[in-house]
A = this chain, B = another copy of it.
Amino acid sequence: MKKQNVTIYDVAREANVSMATVSRVVNGNQNVKDATKQKVLNIIDKLDYRPNAVARGLASKKSTTVGVIIPNVTNTYFASLARGIDDIATMYKYNIILTNSDGNNQRELTSMNTLQAKQVDGIIFMGNEISEELRSEFKKSRAPVVLAGSVDASGKIPSVNIDYRQAVYSEVTNLINNGNDRIAFVSGPLERSINKDFRLKGYKDALTDAGIPYEKSLLFETDVSYSGGYALRERLQKNEVTAAIVTDDDMAAGVMNSMTDDGISVPGEFELATSNDTKLTEMTRPTMSTITQPLYDVGAVAMRLLTKLMNNEDIEENKVFLPFGLKKRESTK
């Protein structure tokens, strides 16, 4: 016995006014006499009227929803961003359509299409790499696009990040100061701009500035996962590394556990620093030193930026960089 939905028309009839007037009071338009406003409000309450957002969206061409493309909600790093996004979205009365892409180019494109079909007012994209096709889809989109925690090699898309190069630079310099000269750089695929153009660059720059020769054999490219990190032990040992900078916390936990499981003491014989400051860094033993990033804020600021774009407000700066820090825990000296 689900009752028929109450429409704006029902309210108008019951209140003896036109639909336009009802619409006005619902939308807070000032041009309504207080008396009639009250009358309408009473009827709305009595009938338990709730505006149909779909109809509203069709008429106004605004859906008050934004699309969010995420590699995988299950990944704490991205989930933290997503949480920041949702909170700010809610604050501005938007809802979020969430789609998992697994970083797969084809699925990212599909998502873009369905999101646009659903007339989202804006899109926040998180991903490891932006293909040419995707970039052109962004450009064609009527809905503005903002990148969160994701870099764009072309540098033209609005985005919110930290300065990954500088962050890695600082952390590596720190490891160097601790006396290490064979420092492993452990990352996901180097074909990704964020790894190649920023993090690796920070690593190289730090070595150069310290006068340490760069060795290609100290680069370890692997799956961004616990097992991906765990599997590296043998190669790391063979190359006699005494420290590692790792670009993902799960991966870092894998690297560290594989070492300690083999009886190598951390940080005594092997120092390790990671990058994302997820809560995992406090749960491992030893706890992991890390670059600290305001994950929640990256998402939040990205969403805030998107609201401005959606309102055609002027933007001071297209690319915003949030401050990072270094947190020393037990895995470094």
* Binary flags per residue of A56-100, CB closer than 8 Å to B gives 1, else 0: 011000010100100011101001101100110010000111111
The residues of B that contact A99 with a CB separation of less than 8 Å are 86, 90, 95-96
Q: Does A260 contact B (CB under 8 A)?
A: yes
| Chain B residue with the shortest CB-CB distance to A5 | B142
Q: Are A98's CB and B96's CB within 8 A?
A: yes
Known pairs A55-B58, A96-B98. 12 more at Cβ < 8 A?
Answer: A53-B118, A54-B58, A54-B119, A68-B98, A74-B76, A74-B80, A83-B100, A90-B99, A98-B98, A226-B279, A284-B284, A284-B285
A239: CB under 8 A from chain B? no
Q: Which residues of B contact A226 (CB under 8 A)?
A: 279, 282-283
**With A226-B279, A226-B283, A285-B285 in contact, do A95 and B118 touch (Cβ < 8 Å)?**
yes
| A257 interfacial contact with B, CB 8 Å | yes
* A170 adjacent to chain B (CB < 8 Å): no
A52 and B120 alpha carbons, distance in the complex (Å): 11
Segment of A109-117, A126-134, A181-189 in the binding face: A109-117
Give the chain B neighbours of A54 by CB distance below 8 A: 54, 57-58, 63, 118-119
Residue of B nearest to A89 (CB): B99
A50 at the interface (CB under 8 A from B): yes
Give Cα A51–Cα B58 distance, bound, in whole angstroms: 13
Chain B residues with Cβ below 8 Å from A55 are 58
Q: Are B283 and A2 in contact (CB under 8 A)?
A: no
